[in-house]
């Protein structure tokens, strides 16, 4: 390993990316283990850890295994080769599984039972419930499921990744010399949680429990010796070669097919399954022992997320927070008029996402709108944004939609939306060859008495009204000429063949963001070395880029005070004497997923603030089309600075990263009073909305007799 990759005592300058990802899941798991939270909220966090783990295995473990098979043993910046990373991942993920199910069975489910939500097993059912379950099996389950025999040395059936299945061991005929095996895939089209009658509250049984109980009916005349639930995870780390000739949409469809047939990277199986069952599945699926997870509870814990939203059990949920109306953008006033009055900075989901939706929807209906151009990365299933773009195209407006077909796990939905938009006459671009387009920008071009005006939205989150209620993101809406001109140049560059041009204000990856960040970081280091005050505050999802991390180390050594709020992956080691003692890193885990990217540089007392779609990772800065947008409007910049400062002051839901890569809970003390940033943002939004409602002038309407009303 080269010297610059090690600290003074030989320790790597960097933390491993994959282990840092897992550490985030453990922080989420501690929310599930928090007895102060109501049980359905705890169940939600446990389900999130399982969903995160599913993606981790599909993408990160899948990629590492491909590297290992190809003979790649080159170490990562932290000094770990793929084989070493896989070994450590296995240890930590086995720990996580044990903690998930210990928490579920010993803490969460007993609390749920007290509140009336009960998961029952077959042996716990009453006679009436047994009759109901049997009828369900005969009428709805048996006609759908299909058992598949697996002959000796025969082909194993193709199973869907992340789908539940049952391994069945059948008694073999004496002449056959042993047991016979079969697989029963649990249909995804059937409800996993089946409601039971006669229960006070909500009693349910899992679908796989019913199939197991009646497995004998699938194999008449043959004794079922064992029936065990299992689940496989397939490698999803595959992409198109869009540097080659061919139809990108057709290639994306091929990728979706490949994922259904890719290698198994994880086998989850019930802990009570026999050694014979495990050995058979391991051999058939070509899975190493380290990739077998014996689960001491229900498989697919991520599916329990839907129980967390069960209606009618509000006492077992957290207090609901509603997105608040934005006083500066009343629903009665068109967004064009709002933005003529001034710029708008929004913090979602505390403030409603409606102004962003309204900008697109009103533009679609407005006769003076000439064009709408928008990047779509992840949109909802019934997207009002896409519906508005389709209406605009049908009304003859020039609509350009850059739909990123390579948005992982949203490829199929994006393909469908691309087809639908193209049929309405919109100009559809399938991203940019060789890159993913991850920028969040929409520009509306409008004819006005004084000439053509451009209204722009720059954001940190996707144009998805559903995740806008779950993710904490920021939006900047403006009518200023420079921002509009930059948005037009950006779209013209992506839809044509030109290189990224010089912008007036914004910066774009892959060419401009990293150099600009390095320049800003170096500027703070130079000022500090000259005795001036210097500081960097930044909020992001992930920090992995080695070049930026080295620049931050150098700035720290120059005396720059650096405070970072990094939600998930962080490969920087903070607090190392002589290297990073001026750097602190916090991670906030609360009810909303922290997603906004906000950067602040002191700049000699004239702070520079930015919103960005990009995390500080090589993939964002080198392999994606991203935007970094300066917020210079005084009121918006001051508010953005306050948002960043509030996040960095959190002492109730934040965790401090230590130099060894572990995290400790940050607690209030004499210097840092108790503060929960997400609650502060919600209460602040509520207060602003209430104050605006009180200031509205009342409209007085006289009460008249009924006859006078008729005459009037």
Active site residues: 438
Cα atoms found within 13 Å of the Cα of residue 225, Cβ hemisphere only: 13
Half-sphere exposure of residue 643: CA atoms within 13 angstroms, side-chain side: 29
Q: Are 450 and 638 in contact (CB under 8 A)?
A: no
Instruction: Tell me which residue of 366, 381, 369, 425 sits closest to 401, measured CA to CA.
Output: 425
Report how far residue 642's alpha carbon sits from residue 650's, in angstroms, rounded to the nearest whole number. Answer: 13
How far is CA 584 from its chain centroid?
25
Q: What span, in angstroms and rounded, lies between the C-alpha atoms of 571 and 616?
A: 10
* Measured distance CA(119)–CA(209) in Å, rounded: 11
Please tell me the distance from the alpha carbon of residue 299 to that of residue 164, in angstroms, as a whole number: 8
User: Which residues, 6 or more positions from 610, have their beta carbon under 8 angstroms from its beta carbon?
Assistant: 598, 599, 600, 628, 629, 630, 631
Do you find a cis peptide bond into 510, omega within 30 degrees of 0? yes
How far apart, in whole angstroms, are the C-alpha atoms of residue 302 and residue 233? 13
Angle CA(610)–CA(612)–CA(617) in degrees, nearest 5? Answer: 120
- Cα(644)–Cα(588) distance, rounded to whole angstroms? 12
How far apart are alpha carbons 683 and 666 in whole angstroms?
Answer: 22
- Burial zone of 601 (CB within 10 Å; 0-12 exposed, 13-18 middle, 19+ buried): buried
């Amino acid at each position: 390993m080269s010297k610059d990759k090690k600290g003074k005592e030989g320790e790597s300058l960097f933390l491993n990316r994959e282990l840092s990802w897992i550490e985030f899941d453990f922080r989420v798991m501690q929310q599930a283990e928090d007895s102060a939270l109501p049980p359905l909220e705890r169940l939600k966090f446990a389900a999130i850890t399982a969903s995160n783990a599913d993606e981790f295995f599909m993408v990160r473990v899948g990629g590492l295994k491909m590297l290992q098979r190809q003979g790649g043993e080159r170490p990562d910046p932290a000094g770990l080769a793929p084989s070493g990373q896989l070994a450590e991942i296995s240890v930590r993920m086995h720990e996580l599984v044990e903690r998930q199910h210990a928490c579920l069975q010993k803490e969460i489910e007993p609390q749920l039972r007290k509140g009336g939500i009960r998961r029952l097993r077959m042996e716990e059912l009453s006679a009436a419930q047994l009759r109901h379950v049997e009828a369900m099996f005969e009428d709805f389950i048996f006609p759908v499921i299909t058992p598949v025999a697996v002959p000796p040395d025969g082909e194993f059936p193709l199973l869907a990744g992340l789908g539940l299945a049952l391994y069945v061991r059948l008694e073999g005929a004496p002449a056959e010399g042993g047991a016979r095996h079969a697989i029963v895939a649990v249909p995804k089209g059937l409800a996993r949680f089946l409601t039971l009658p006669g229960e006070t509250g909500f009693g349910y049984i899992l679908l796989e429990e019913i199939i197991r109980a009646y497995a004998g009916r699938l194999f008449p005349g043959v004794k079922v010796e064992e029936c065990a639930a299992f689940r496989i995870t397939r490698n999803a780390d595959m992409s198109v070669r869009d540097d080659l000739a061919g139809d990108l949409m057709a290639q994306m469809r091929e990728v979706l097919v490949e994922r259904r047939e890719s290698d198994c990277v994880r086998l989850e199986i019930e802990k009570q399954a026999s050694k014979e069952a495990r050995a058979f599945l391991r051999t058939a699926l070509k899975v190493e022992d380290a990739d077998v997870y014996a689960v001491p509870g229900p498989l697919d814990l991520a599916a329990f997320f839907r129980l967390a939203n069960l209606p009618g059990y509000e006492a077992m949920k957290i207090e609901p927070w509603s997105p608040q109306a934005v006083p500066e953008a009343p629903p009665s006033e068109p967004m064009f008029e709002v933005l003529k009055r001034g710029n708008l900075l929004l913090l979602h989901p505390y403030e409603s996402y409606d102004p962003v939706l309204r900008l697109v929807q009103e533009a679609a209906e407005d006769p003076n709108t000439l064009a709408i151009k928008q990047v779509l990365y992840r949109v909802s299933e019934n997207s009002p944004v896409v519906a508005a773009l389709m209406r605009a195209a049908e009304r003859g407006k020039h609509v350009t939609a850059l739909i990123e077909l390579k948005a992982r796990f949203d490829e199929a939905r994006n393909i469908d939306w691309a087809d639908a938009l193209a049929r309405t006459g919109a100009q559809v671009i399938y991203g940019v060859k060789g890159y993913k387009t991850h920028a969040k920008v929409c520009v509306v071009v409008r004819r006005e008495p004084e000439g053509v005006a451009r209204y722009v939205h720059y954001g940190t989150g996707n144009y998805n009204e559903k995740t806008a209620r779950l993710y904490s993101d920021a939006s900047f809406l403006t009518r200023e000429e420079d921002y509009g001109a930059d948005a037009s140049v950006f779209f013209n560059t992506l839809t044509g063949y030109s290189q990224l041009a010089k912008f007036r204000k914004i910066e774009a990856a892959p060419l401009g963001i990293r150099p600009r960040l390095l320049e800003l970081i170096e500027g703070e280091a130079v000022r500090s070395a000259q005795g001036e005050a210097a500081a960097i505050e930044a909020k992001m999802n992930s920090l992995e880029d080695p070049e930026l991390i080295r620049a931050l180390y150098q700035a720290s050594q120059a005396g720059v005070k650096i405070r970072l709020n990094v939600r998930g992956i962080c490969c920087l080691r903070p607090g190392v004497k002589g290297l990073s003692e001026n750097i602190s890193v916090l991670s906030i885990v609360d009810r909303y997923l922290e997603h906004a990217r906000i950067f602040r540089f002191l700049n000699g007392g004239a702070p520079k603030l930015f919103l960005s779609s990009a995390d500080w990772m090589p993939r964002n800065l080198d392999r994606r089309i991203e935007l970094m947008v300066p917020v210079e409007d005084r009121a918006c910049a001051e508010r953005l600075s306050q948002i960043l400062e509030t996040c960095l002051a959190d002492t109730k839901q934040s965790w401090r990263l230590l130099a060894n890569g572990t995290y400790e809970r940050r607690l209030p003390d004499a210097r840092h009073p108790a503060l929960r940033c997400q609650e502060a943002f919600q209460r602040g939004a509520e207060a602003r909305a209430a104050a605006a409602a009180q200031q509205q002038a009342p409209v007085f309407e006289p009460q008249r007799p009924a006859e006078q009303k008729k005459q009037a």
